[in-house]
Structure 1
């Protein structure tokens, strides 16, 4: 049976993985869902990206996990990719779920177009240094039920802004690690150019889900099945 560490995207907590975690545990796997520092606590001022990397490493090392399937969604692909290089002796596979991937010396925001980076800067200004939760309209047309949209809109919390603008620090190139990238097709037909480049590595494989950007809520059975097959 596998050991899974599930890391949520920006503004989300461990709760977003509940349905997937339940299915994996029912199949006999050990599951550790993470709420990253500054999420759901309200204390975001000094939380930077490396703290999120440390959070993930601490879960793996503190629980003495081995043969770990390390899963990151959306934003959390950035700290997950860094953490994977630090726990490589305990790692079975990295899984990026429709996520960003880290590049040494670049931040989460650096991968965005100039116009989008300017929008994010405005968001962080409005949020007094945090990325404020999105309204329900942000989650429409992504294969989500009304219940799931309401959950995302009401349970999301402000996200520490520094984690989005600080550069990644890789201890090992991500294309050297066994990796599955799960592309959610309703969020775009093809992976981003940096992911396409990484997929040229023989260590990487691509899996597609015909759903939106939050498959742990829209298609938990299908996502859990993909993850279970990787253990």
Structure 2
């Protein structure tokens, strides 16, 4: 139901198989990093630093549940990181679809408090970006860094629907009216074109079997985000440039349209789409999230 290949991956991994051919991935090769910054042993030889161990809380988006992260979580855990994947109200095993954005936020806040999680990397994907915005307002002292992966970063007073192209918003409104429980179920053709556009047809059909109707109300609620924009928590944005959920340019898109709202942030870029890599390349996605999260 949720296939992935966990493998035995290193993070950071200097021999990562998805680095373009002829290039060498080095976790310290970012702009501004020069050879004399490498730590030295007592003999003066240069050595790589040990991978940092982090605590992740991964928050899924719409039309998904906690299983969305199974492959990525397995890779991160295999390297000694601690990973939590909360499932929020109206999703997964919760049959009640009459939820609000505040109820969804409370699910994640309560999860973090009940487990007494501290110094966490809070990751939000897609709609999950709006969730971690609100969660951060309530537990800022527990968060080490916020990471948005192709995620909505709403302005104060906006709803997610405000950021959709008119045609997409109209489609969602029509699907909402057609339901008998105020949900939106994506037709396969829409899911295929927007969410898994780089997947094979067979994979897209397999992924679609886990798609469930999404509670509509939270997507159309205007959010008060004044407190979020006063927070000094470090932030990162992971942008996959083949993600087709939002159109590129024309006042839409993930980066820079959404990402720039974070102010000072770290940008990590990948070549995937909105859903596919969680199933087909979990180690690749885990690498990008790790890069966005480490000190």
Q: How many residues align?
A: 228
Does the 8 Å CA contact 2:235/2:266 hold for their aligned counterparts? Answer: yes
Whether the 8 Å contact between 1:183 and 1:207 is mirrored in structure 2 is yes
Structure with higher RCO (Cα < 8 A, 6+ apart): 1
Give 1:216 deviation, angstroms: 2.0
CA change 1:130–1:174 in 2 (3 A) is farther
TM-score by length of 2: 0.71
Q: Which residue of 1 aligns with 2:184?
A: 131
**CA–CA distance in structure 2, aligned partners of residues 147 and 68 of structure 1:** 36
Q: Which segments of 5 or more consecutive residues in structure 1 lack a partner in the other structure?
A: none
2:237 to 150, 166, 181: 181
Aligned to 1:206: 267
Higher strand share: 1
Query: Match of 2:290?
Result: 228
Change (3 A) 1:158 1:174: farther
- Give the structure with the larger helix fraction: 1
* Contact kept? 1:181, 1:205, Cα under 8 Å: yes
1:17 CA drift (Å) = 0.5
Matches within 5 A, 1:9-24: 9-24=61-76
Matches within 5 A, 1:37-116: 37-40=89-92, 41-45=94-98, 47-116=99-168
The structure that has the greater radius of gyration is 2
Q: Root-mean-square deviation (CA), in Å?
A: 2.2
Which residue is 2:281 aligned to?
A: 219
Q: Which residue of 1 aligns with 2:169?
A: 117
Contact kept? 1:81, 1:174, Cα under 8 Å: no
Match of residue 195 from structure 1: 258
3-state DSSP of counterpart to 2:223: coil
Task: Select between 126-135 and 190-199 the one with higher mean Cα deviation.
Answer: 190-199
How far apart, in 1, do the equivalents of 2:202 and 2:144 lie? 34
Structure 1: distance between partners of 2:259 and 2:216: 27
Q: Secondary structure at the match of 2:61?
A: coil
Q: 1:148 to 1:74 in 2, by over 3 A?
A: farther
